[in-house]
Amino acid sequence: MTVQGKPLTDEDRAIYEWQLDVPGFGEEGQERLKGASVLISRVGGLGSVVAYELAAAGIGRLVLVHAGNIKPSDLNRQLAMTHDALGTPRVVSAKRRLNELNPRMSIDAISENITDDNAERLVGEVDLVVDCAPLFEERFAMNREAVRQGKPLVECAMYELEAHITTIIPGQTPCLACLHPEEPPAWRRRFPVFGAVSGTVGCMGAMEAIKVLGGLGAPLAGRMVTMDLRDMTFRTMKLTRNPNCPICSHLNKRC
């Protein structure tokens, strides 16, 4: 993908010198990150960590989307939330915490969730989307817009001590609807999980975003990494597009 980079300052070079030495990245990759914008749908257990790692890496602009106020049950995993902010909007806490780490970045904190009504506008504002949302209706809305607008979409998910991640490149890889054609009937909003599980896959989601935006490595395009942290089993599964997918089958490249 093409991201219009922004020139680095001496302060940038001082802050990012450890990652500027990464082969295949360098100053050109850092400039791309500085010029890039990322939408993170929900800054909960997954999204908090994705946002924190992207802030640390020097992404230029984050759009954080998450409705509601901080509840006690958020605090086992939502690392952008703080105890003293209980009862206040999640995105306000997240923005404050991220700006403590990186005051140079721009953050749009939007206290709403992705819907069919706002997905076009919100996806249209960024270069890449990271899906950390719990509800399939939100995820499907994001997927539809990401495919329609040709924006990469990093998909992160978790349950108990398990998680998986894949990166959707519209027209090249399966989209979310190829993997799950319909809303799963037995899916429940609340599920068991540790913060260390969401943190693990959240870091991987941030790394995928950095790779796609910074132009290094091999993103999980058409592949899904699954992990079970109960026994530390990691597998990579090859994914295939659904030739009858109502969302992406009109795009003709095959992975």
Partner 1 sequence: MNITVEYTAQLKARTGCSDETFEVDSSCDLPALFSAIAGRHGDPVREIVLDAQDTPVQVLCFVNDKQVDWGAPPQLAEGAKITIMSPISGG
Binding footprint of partner 1 on the chain (CB under 8 A): 42, 44-47, 131-136, 139, 156-160, 162-164, 179-182, 184-187, 189-191, 193, 198, 226, 228, 237-240, 242-244
Nearest distance in Å: CB 139, partner 1: 7
* Closer residue to partner 1 in complex, CB, 4/76: 76
- Cα 49 from chain centroid? 9
How far apart CA 70 and CA 82 sit, in angstroms, is 8
Nearest distance in Å: CB 73, partner 1: 11
**Beta carbons within 10 angstroms of residue 160's beta carbon:** 13
Among 172, 231, 227, 182, residue whose Cα is nearest residue 204: 227
Nearest distance in Å: CB 30, partner 1: 28
* Closer residue to partner 1 in complex, CB, 29/134: 134
Residue identified by tokens 């922004």 is 6
* Closer residue to partner 1 in complex, CB, 5/45: 45
Using only C-alpha atoms, the chain has a radius of gyration, in whole angstroms, of 17
* Closer residue to partner 1 in complex, CB, 106/187: 187
How far apart CA 36 and CA 145 sit, in angstroms, is 18
Nearest distance in Å: CB 34, partner 1: 26
How far apart CA 11 and CA 172 sit, in angstroms, is 38
Strands 61-65 and 37-41: parallel
Nearest distance in Å: CB 85, partner 1: 19
**Beta carbons within 10 angstroms of residue 35's beta carbon:** 17
* Closer residue to partner 1 in complex, CB, 19/115: 115
